[in-house]
Structure 1
């Protein structure tokens, strides 16, 4: 069964073009288009189908992408949100991720990359291209953690290094332990947090205040 997608974009031509592109993907289908976050909420309230994935523009009237993804996080956390925008600046990327987006793409993305991103988002729970990963790894956040997950002090120390460009061997040197021990921290955290990659750990670290300031 194909994974269902809703496109939220106030530019109808872009939304329809995306719908046509995704129509050629084997594993995905667009079930409808919304013109804004408010329009999406109204469709949900009128019993429109709830999708697996939402492709969400940021710059929209009435209710923009930042507000919309936060509402979705609070009301429909199972939906995976992929930001699809012309805005690729650090502030927009980090804010969308903090508000609940699980992926981020620019609108000039090639259709093959879009299909790959949707596949990764569906399978792994998140997708960030290399340029977005670099933004995530280079930006720190100082929020108080509120995860409800037991994380040891050494694991917290490891998390703060995941947002740097240090190799695991270099992290081991910083933590005065062996690379194998660092790998065990990585594996334990991935298991606890249901993550698979360093980028996923870095996103978690940023969103929950474990990143080094």
Structure 2
């Protein structure tokens, strides 16, 4: 089994080295590249050289982490991006998730929580530190009734399994459908819920009473 290729963008040199050592100690992960800012990342990124996942800080010199996530979503949408930062303010959280981050972890997370979150994200999961999950749930702008969304029974099933922490492949196996079909349902869910990421979809669904 090929190790997951993770690159790190972190401006704190000491923490950057610590993260790289932590990731490389896991037999399922390889972390060959670390960067102090976004520009060197984009200078290195190419069709021949790219990671499966990028662990991104937000408070970076030059291009911010959110701007970096937005640019990655345009240039390399297949690369999963997970935020790892000290910032827990709701504006930072929602900006990152709206930009396309697949998860949001705080630096207070334990090494085990970080590793587990990255592995989950690589399989289509949505890693959120507990405080961040609470922020997302509390700060959704509207609370329409469930009927307003007109979700199909299958879309509700997919949404419920996502909320339970299942990755895309696991949802496909549970519902006996293909991963392509799962992604099709996600696209419909994003459109109907008016969100742009899996964490935002789950948060809005909880707030609207679609999930228990």
What TM-score comes out, normalization by structure 2 length? 0.70
- The residue number in structure 2 matching 1:187 is 157
* SS of alignment partner, residue 109 of structure 2: coil
Q: Gaps (5+ residues) in structure 1?
A: 143-152, 159-180
Please give the alpha-carbon distance, in whole angstroms, between the structure 1 residues aligned to 2:16 and 2:202. 33
Query: Alignment partner of 1:127: what SS?
Result: coil
Distance, in Å, in 2 between the alignment partners of 1:26 and 1:126 is 22
1:4 offset after TM fit, Å? 0.3
Instruction: Give the number of equivalent residue pairs.
Output: 172
- Indicate the residue corresponding to 1:35 in structure 2: 36
Aligned partners of 2:14 and 2:36: how far apart in 1?
11
Alignment map for 1:166-185 (pairs within 5 Å): none
Equivalent residue, structure 1, for 2:62:
62
**Whole-Å Cα distance in 1 between the matches of residues 78 and 127 of structure 2?**
16
Equivalent residue, structure 1, for 2:12: 11
Residue 129 of structure 1, CA deviation: 2.6
The offset of 1:211, in angstroms, is 6.7
Distance 1:48 1:57, change over 3 A: farther
1:203 matches 2:200:
yes
**Deviation digits for residues 149-189 of structure 1, max 9, x if unmatched?**
xxxx946166xxxxxxxxxxxxxxxxxxxxxx9x6651166
Moved more, 116-125 or 1-10: 116-125
TM-score (norm 1): 0.70
Q: Which has the higher Rg, Structure 1 or Structure 2?
A: 1
Shift, 1:99, TM fit? 0.4
Q: Deviations over 1:14-55 (max 9, x none)?
A: 11110011111121110201111111111125x772000101
CA contact (8 A) 1:155 1:189 kept: no
Q: CA RMSD, aligned part only? A: 3.0
